[in-house]
Amino acid sequence: MIEGLKKRLYVLVLALAIPFAALAVDMPLTDIHGNKANLKSYLGKWVVVNYWATWCPPCIVEMPELQSFHDDHVNTDAMVIGINTELIGDQQLKTFLDDYFITYPIVNSKPTQESELGLIPGLPTTFLVTPEGEVVARQVGPVTRDMIEQFIQNWQPKKISSQ
């Protein structure tokens, strides 16, 4: 009996630890080129929101994967937004991005452990937002293009029962 209770408690803790935000997250964004948007502006597309820093080796390793995903999906069904979380000037950040051939939108932010999307316990942290604006996944650590595409392909929205 205690073993079964422990298992149920473990499942409950895992379910509560996944940071799901409300529908259509209100998150103002200004990229390093001065373009203003809101996460709500991207309703209708999957949005990959990636928190990272230039000093973070795993962040740099995943950037080509994010760029490849963004390039293949931005004109159809998904996009990437990078949020740099360090104290760095826009010009220094632009130079870094040019050196790594990164063209998806980048927002410069101060260091943080929380966002409108959920907790950021370490870098990189990536959130996946559905076309309806619901945060449905968080990955702490690097992601790959295949990971993102498989998640999207296998995503099953919650069914609301009519009782």
According to the model, what pLDDT value does residue 118 have? 93
- What residues contact 52, with CB distance under 8 A and at least 6 apart? 59, 62, 63, 82, 83, 84, 85, 123, 124
| Section 41-48 average pLDDT | 95
Q: Is the dihedral of CA 117, 119, 124, 128 positive or negative?
A: negative
Q: 19: pLDDT confidence band, cut at 50, 70 and 90? A: very low
- Asked whether the whole model's pTM tops 0.75, one would answer yes
Q: Is 43 exposed, middle or buried (0-12, 13-18, 19+ CB in 10 A)?
A: middle
Contacts of 143 by beta carbon, 8 Å cutoff, 6+ apart: 48, 50, 62, 65, 66, 124, 126
The architecture CATH gives domain 22-154: 3-Layer(aba) Sandwich (3.40)
Residue 81 to residue 67: CA distance in whole angstroms: 10
87-137 pLDDT per residue, tens: 999 899 999 999 999 999 999 999 999 999 999 999 999 999 999 999 999
